[in-house]
Amino acid sequence: MAFLKVEGLAKVYAGARGRPDTVVFEDVNFSLERGEFVCLIGHSGCGKTTILNVLAGLETPSAGAVIVDGREISGPGLDRGVVFQNHALLPWLTVLGNVAFAVRARWPEWPAARVRARAKETLAKVGLAGAEHKRPAELSGGMKQRVGIARAFSIEPKMLLLDEPFGALDALTRGALQDELLRMVQAARQTVFMITHDVDEAILLADRILLMSSGPRARIVEVVENTLPRSRTRADLHHDPQYYRIRNHLLDFLVSRARSAAATGGAPRLVRPGLEGGEVASASEPRERSPRAATNAGVRGATVVSLHSNA
Partner 1 sequence: MMPLGLRAAAVSLFLLALLLAAWHLATLPAGGRQAVSDEYAKLVGAAAATGQRSAMPGPLEVGAKLLEHLRDPFYDRGPNDKGIGVQLAYSLGRVLSGFALAAATAIPLGFLIGMSPLAYRALDPFVQVLRPISPLAWMPLALYALKDSHASAVFVIFVCSMWPMLINTAFGVASVRREWIQVARTLELRPPALALRVVLPAAAPTIFTGMRISIGIAWLVIVAAEMLVGGTGIGYFVWNEWNNLSIANILVGIFAIGMVGMGLDQAIGRIARLVSYAE
Ligand X SMILES: Nc1ncnc2c1ncn2[C@@H]1O[C@H](COP(=O)(O)OP(=O)(O)OP(=O)(O)O)[C@@H](O)[C@H]1O
Footprint of ligand X (CB under 6 A):
13, 22, 24, 42, 44-50, 215
Nearest to 119 by CA among 250, 237, 129, 309: 129
Looking at the DSSP bridge assignments, the partners of residue 155 are: none
d(CA 138, CA 160): 26
For residues 274 and 227, the answer to whether their CB atoms sit within 8 Å is: yes
Q: How far is the CB of 11 from ligand X (least distance, A)?
A: 7
For ligand X, the closer of residues 13 and 92 by Cβ is 13
| Cis, peptide link before residue 216, omega less than 30° from 0 | yes
Element containing residue 242 per DSSP (H, E): helix 241-252
Nearest to 219 by CA among 282, 279, 272, 263: 263
Q: How far is the CB of 64 from ligand X (least distance, A)?
A: 15
Pattern 134-173, partner 1, x by CB under 8 A: -xxx-----------------x------------------
For residues 212 and 42, the answer to whether their CB atoms sit within 8 Å is: yes
For residues 155 and 82, the answer to whether their CB atoms sit within 8 Å is: no
> Cα-flanking dihedrals φ and ψ of residue 148, to 5°?
-60, -40
For partner 1, the closer of residues 167 and 291 by Cβ is 167
Instruction: List the single partner that 50 binds among ligand X, partner 1, Mg ion, none, CB under 5 to 8 Å by kind.
Output: ligand X
Biggest CA–CA distance in the chain, Å, is 59
Instruction: List the single partner that 47 binds among partner 1, ligand X, Mg ion, none, CB under 5 to 8 Å by kind.
Output: ligand X
Q: Does 50 bind Mg ion (CB under 5 A)?
A: no
d(CA 133, CA 110): 21
With contacts defined by CB under 5 A, name the span among 8-16, 47-55, 124-132, 150-158 that binds Mg ion: 47-55
CA atoms within 13 A on the CB side of 180: 23
With contacts defined by CB under 5 A, name the span among 31-39, 44-52, 259-267, 291-299 that binds Mg ion: 44-52
Instruction: List the single partner that 45 binds among Mg ion, partner 1, ligand X, none, CB under 5 to 8 Å by kind.
Output: ligand X
Q: How far is the CB of 84 from partner 1 (least distance, A)?
A: 6
Pattern 70-99, partner 1, x by CB under 8 A: -----xxxx-xxx-x-x-x-xxx-------
Q: Does 49 bind Mg ion (CB under 5 A)?
A: yes
Contact footprint for partner 1 (CB under 8 A): 56-58, 75-78, 80-82, 84, 86, 88, 90-92, 101-102, 105-106, 135-137, 155
